[in-house]
Amino acid sequence: MAYNNFDQLGTLLRLLDDDRNDLYLHIDAKTPRAAVPDLRRYMHRSTLTIVEPIPVAWGGYSQVRCEMRLIHAALESGEPYGYLHLLSGADLPIKTNDEICRFLQQHDGKEFIAFVYRSVNDGHMDAIKERIAIHHPWQERTGREDDFPTRVLSKAQKLLHVDRLKGSGFKEIGKGSQWFSITAEFGRYLIEQEPLVERTFRSSYCSDELFIQTMALNSPFAERLYDPNGDGRGDNLRYIDWKRGAPYVFHAQDFDELMASPQLFARKFDEQVDAEIIRRIADTLLAH
């Protein structure tokens, strides 16, 4: 999922260009088409498919719709994929394709999804549940803005005990990082459950942080969740620093820290902030 920084995006594509990978790219419909360069010039071994664009809004269901559109495109290709990785244009791999494939072969069948909260008894869960339990009909328009009509509507629904999750069958709600690496099997399950996905997560607030976690927890794939620390938080194989930013944008001085990480991918990078870290990672991985 991308919308800007196309030189940086080209670097991401080059690093993933491998006989074992195909790439499915969604560029936000709000991005002027004239601003998008010929990205296929970066591809020599992978197939790059540009997915029909939709406008994507911060915190809106359009985030989930875009993810589902990418999953559809990959699985409808007929290729026998093992894993589907959701990346943003601000991500980079920090391992070679050989290392990534080796890790996935060693943990074949696991679902790599990160959780921040996943307990119905967690003190934060009521507020998190409200993101999808009550209607947020203007989220695609308001984005980060918390306007007065939205607050009034939310309060009224809570007073009326509106709960869109009734009858959903969900026993758990999970929250965590939007980015994931899942088996193609789980991807096919999500497509089969698309009516439930649409019913549950449309008219929501920031459901991109609940969608994959909640669907996984309430599916036969829950037992496959990769949880190396045994704390229920899982792991999505992404190195993301929330202590220094929201998230932190990596700089050249972070190179050694990034390359020493056991994770496969990292975010966030921005060529407008520090292009040197992007060049150093690319040069290192492409040299192998």
Distances in Å between the Cα of 282 and the Cα atoms of 41, 96, 128 are 17, 10, 38
Tell me the per-residue pLDDT of 90-111, one tens digit each, with 9 for 90 and over: 999 999 999 999 999 999 999 9
Q: Of 237, 288, 285, which is closest to residue 106 (Cα–Cα)?
A: 237
Checking if the pLDDT of 122 tops 60, the result is no
Checking if the pLDDT of 62 tops 60, the result is yes
Helix (H, G, I), strand (E, B) or coil at 119: coil
Confidence band, pLDDT 50/70/90 cuts, at residue 157: confident
Confidence band, pLDDT 50/70/90 cuts, at residue 125: low
**Distance between CA 267 and CA 90 in Å, rounded?**
6
CB contact at 8 A, 28 and 56: yes
For residue 114, give both structure tokens. Answer: 């990160």
Residues near 27 by beta carbon (within 8 Å), at least 6 away in sequence: 2, 3, 36, 50, 53
122-140: b (≥16 Cβ within 10 Å) or e: eeebeebbbbbbbbbeebb
pLDDT of residue 175: 93
CATH 3.90.550 describes domain 6-117+170-286: yes
pLDDT of residue 273: 98
27 φ, ψ (degrees, to nearest 5): -110, 125
For residue 81, give both structure tokens. Answer: 């994929």
pLDDT of residue 144: 79
> What residues does each domain of the chain span?
6-117+170-286
**Distance between CA 43 and CA 93 in Å, rounded?**
16
pLDDT of residue 141: 86
Checking if the pLDDT of 121 tops 60, the result is no
pLDDT of residue 129: 87
For residue 110, give both structure tokens. Answer: 């696991």
Tell me the per-residue pLDDT of 197-229, one tens digit each, with 9 for 90 and over: 999 999 999 999 999 999 999 999 999 999 999
Helix (H, G, I), strand (E, B) or coil at 192: helix
Checking if the pLDDT of 120 tops 70, the result is no
Q: Of 15, 74, 77, 10, which is closest to residue 41 (Cα–Cα)?
A: 10
